[in-house]
């Protein structure tokens, strides 16, 4: 008996170490298909959803001389099915496939614009229930149909899904994951997703033929899992900054009519704080950064120091204006995309309890948001004067 208890004691931690439940099923790696990306659209029939999965075809991915033969055709496959729910559609796809799905390597999910407007609730439900999914999956919004994005030409990568995953990884705009969305929505707050752009572009790599191309357009603002509006690139970048996701951003400012300078941010940070003033939450978003001047054309002022101050002043103005635009839009759409409510929850839990249930209203009407931009120019760069004045 004692030995049995001891054995149980030894075995129990193993389940937490090694994972249990579905992890106990054995599937050979070449009997599975790893879904790398999913594309969700509104179906043609009302109240249906069209799901497209994209999975790599390992035998077409060249890996040395393994598996024989030269790769021919695209190294990935896409399958599309429509049904009433995401689960149904996936099950229909599974029925056609010779291999079992695995969503553990799904890096990107793209939703179509119209589907997003109707709400991502079904998708979120599926995501939470499917055990193999990874919470770090990036979520994107396509300008039109998601399948349009699916057909993009991967120029630098092997598969479209890789392109999307890298866009998320690199924080080209904002790398929002399912985890972020679920956390925000659970507290009645909004979130911002990267809004892609899709179109045709002639590809040098493909003898100048026009090929589908996908880039980033800006952000899409969500509240209650519904797409409210989209923001163009500049305000989107400041949102990314405020979320501490932005990397390597470039701003070009002008002053004194002819003065012009480009500043490349080598370091940027954001700090958000809240205080209650007269029963209203006052948020302060402070964007701090250090930049290098990488282009400068002097204006009337030739004094470097005053030019530096002018650049900093203009830069901070521009940045502040960008974020203000974003915040104004978000307040108009009642989408707390920066999750300022969390800050309130943390600092003033009592107040938060009162406003929590209709936070989106309170965010739009009550919240005062102050923006401080504090960007310093560090390296001004030295320029040889060819014509001494």
Partner 1 sequence: MRSSANVKSELLENVKSRLSGCGDVSYQSLRLHGSDCTLIFIGPIIDFSSLHGHIVTPLLKESAKVEHHFDDFIDRLDRGDLLSIPFERSDSAEHIANAIVEGSAVLLIEETAEAYLFDIVLYQKRAVSESQNELVVNGPQEAFIEDISTNLSLLRHKIRHPDLKTIRFQIGRYTKKAVYMVYIEGLAKPEVVQEVNQHLAAIDIDGTFGISTLSEQMKEGVRSPFPQFQYTERPDSVAASLLEGRVGIMQDGTPSALIVPVTLMSLLQSSEDYYHSFYSSSWIRLVRFAFGLMSLLMPSLYVAITTFQPSIIPTDLLITISASRENIPFTALAEALIMELTFEALREAGTRIPKPVGQTISIIGAIVIGQAAVEAGIVSNPMVIVVSITGIASYIIPNFELGLAFRLLRFPILILGGTLGLIGVFAAAFLVYGHLASLKSFGTPYLQPIAPLIRSDWKDAFFRAPSKMMKKRPKTYASGNNTRRQKP
Question: According to the binding rule CB under 8 A, does residue 23 interact with partner 1?
Answer: yes
Which one among 29, 204, 277, 305 touches partner 1, defined by CB under 8 A? 29
Q: In the complex with partner 1, which residue's Cβ is closer, 23 or 200?
A: 23
Euclidean distance between CA atoms 156 and 162, whole angstroms: 9
Which one among 5, 11, 204, 305 touches partner 1, defined by CB under 8 A? 11
Question: According to the binding rule CB under 8 A, does residue 67 interact with partner 1?
Answer: yes
Question: According to the binding rule CB under 8 A, does residue 105 interact with partner 1?
Answer: yes
- Scanning 25-33, 86-94, 143-151, 283-291 for contacts with partner 1 by CB under 8 A, the matching segment is 25-33
Report the nearest approach of partner 1 to the CB of residue 102 (Å): 6
Q: Closest Cα to residue 220, out of 182, 194, 199?
A: 194
Which one among 3, 30, 204, 305 touches partner 1, defined by CB under 8 A? 30
Q: In the complex with partner 1, which residue's Cβ is closer, 23 or 383?
A: 23
Question: According to the binding rule CB under 8 A, does residue 179 interact with partner 1?
Answer: no
Question: According to the binding rule CB under 8 A, does residue 389 interact with partner 1?
Answer: no
Residues ≥6 apart with Cβ < 8 Å to 187: 339, 341, 342, 345, 356, 359
- Scanning 100-108, 178-186, 239-247, 261-269 for contacts with partner 1 by CB under 8 A, the matching segment is 100-108
Residue 65 exposed, middle or buried by CB count within 10 Å (0-12, 13-18, 19+): exposed
**The residue to which tokens 């705009």 are assigned:** 173
Euclidean distance between CA atoms 314 and 224, whole angstroms: 36
Euclidean distance between CA atoms 150 and 35, whole angstroms: 13
Count of residues engaged in binding partner 1, rule: CB under 8 A:
37
Which one among 74, 88, 102, 118 touches partner 1, defined by CB under 8 A? 102
Three-state secondary structure of 333-383: CCCCCCCHHHHHHHHCHHHHHHHHHHHHHHHHHCCEEEEEEEEEEEECCCC
Residues ≥6 apart with Cβ < 8 Å to 25: none
Euclidean distance between CA atoms 151 and 164, whole angstroms: 12
Tell me which residues in 142-161 interact with partner 1 (CB under 8 A).
none
- Backbone angles phi and psi of 193, in degrees to 5: -110, 155
Report the nearest approach of partner 1 to the CB of residue 165 (Å): 8
Tell me which residues in 33-52 interact with partner 1 (CB under 8 A).
34, 36
Question: According to the binding rule CB under 8 A, does residue 25 interact with partner 1?
Answer: yes
Question: According to the binding rule CB under 8 A, does residue 63 interact with partner 1?
Answer: yes
Question: According to the binding rule CB under 8 A, does residue 18 interact with partner 1?
Answer: yes
Tell me which residues in 269-328 interact with partner 1 (CB under 8 A).
none
Which one among 132, 197, 252, 301 touches partner 1, defined by CB under 8 A? 132
Euclidean distance between CA atoms 249 and 356, whole angstroms: 35
Question: According to the binding rule CB under 8 A, does residue 135 interact with partner 1?
Answer: no
Which one among 43, 48, 58, 122 touches partner 1, defined by CB under 8 A? 58
Three-state secondary structure of 166-201: HHHHCCCCCCCEHHHHHHHHHCCCCEEEEEEEEEEE
**Cβ atoms within 10 Å of 140's Cβ, excluding its own:** 26
Angle at 125 between CA 137 and CA 48, to 5 degrees: 105
Which one among 42, 81, 107, 320 touches partner 1, defined by CB under 8 A? 107
Q: Closest Cα to residue 185, out of 109, 244, 128?
A: 128
Residues lying near partner 1 in the complex (CB under 8 A) are found at 10-11, 14-15, 17-20, 23-30, 32, 34, 36, 56, 58-59, 61-68, 102, 104-105, 107, 132, 134, 165
């Amino acid at each position: 008996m004692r030995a049995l208890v001891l054995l149980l004691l030894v075995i129990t931690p193993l389940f937490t170490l090694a994972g249990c439940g579905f992890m106990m099923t054995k599937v050979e790696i070449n009997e599975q298909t790893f879904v790398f990306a999913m594309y969700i659209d509104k179906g043609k029939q009302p109240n249906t959803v069209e799901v497209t999965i994209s999975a790599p075809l390992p035998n077409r991915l060249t890996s040395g001389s393994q598996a024989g033969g030269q790769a021919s055709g695209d190294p990935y496959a896409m399958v599309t099915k429509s049904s009433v729910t995401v689960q149904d559609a996936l099950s229909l796809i599974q029925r056609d496939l010779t291999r079992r799905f695995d969503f553990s390597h799904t890096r990107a999910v793209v939703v179509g614009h119209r589907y997003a407007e109707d709400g991502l609730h079904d998708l979120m439900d599926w995501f939470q229930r499917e055990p193999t999914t990874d919470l770090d999956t990036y979520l994107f919004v396509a300008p039109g149909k998601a399948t349009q994005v699916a057909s993009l030409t991967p120029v630098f990568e092997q598969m479209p899904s890789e392109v999307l995953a890298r866009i998320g990884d690199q924080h080209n705009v904002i790398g929002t994951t399912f985890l972020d969305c679920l956390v925000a929505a659970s507290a009645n707050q909004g979130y911002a997703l990267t809004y892609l752009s899709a179109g045709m572009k002639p590809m040098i790599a493909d003898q100048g033929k026009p090929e589908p191309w996908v880039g980033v357009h800006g952000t899409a603002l969500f509240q209650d899992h519904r797409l409210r509006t989209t923001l163009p690139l500049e305000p989107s970048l400041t949102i990314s900054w405020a979320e501490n996701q932005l990397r390597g951003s470039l701003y070009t400012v002008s002053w004194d009519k002819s003065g012009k300078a480009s500043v490349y941010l080598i370091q940027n940070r954001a700090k958000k704080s809240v205080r209650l003033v007269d029963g209203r939450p006052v948020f302060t978003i402070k964007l701090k950064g250090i930049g290098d001047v990488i282009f400068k054309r002097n204006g009337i002022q030739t004094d470097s120091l005053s030019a530096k101050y002018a650049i900093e002043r203009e830069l901070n103005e521009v940045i502040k204006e960008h974020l203000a635009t974003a915040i104004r839009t978000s307040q108009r759409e009642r989408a707390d995309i920066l999750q300022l409510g969390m800050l309130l929850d943390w600092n003033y839990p009592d107040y938060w309890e009162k406003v929590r249930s209709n936070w989106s209203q309170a965010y739009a009407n009550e919240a005062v948001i102050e923006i401080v931009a504090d960007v310093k120019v560090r390296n001004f760069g030295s320029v040889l004067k060819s014509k001494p004045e």
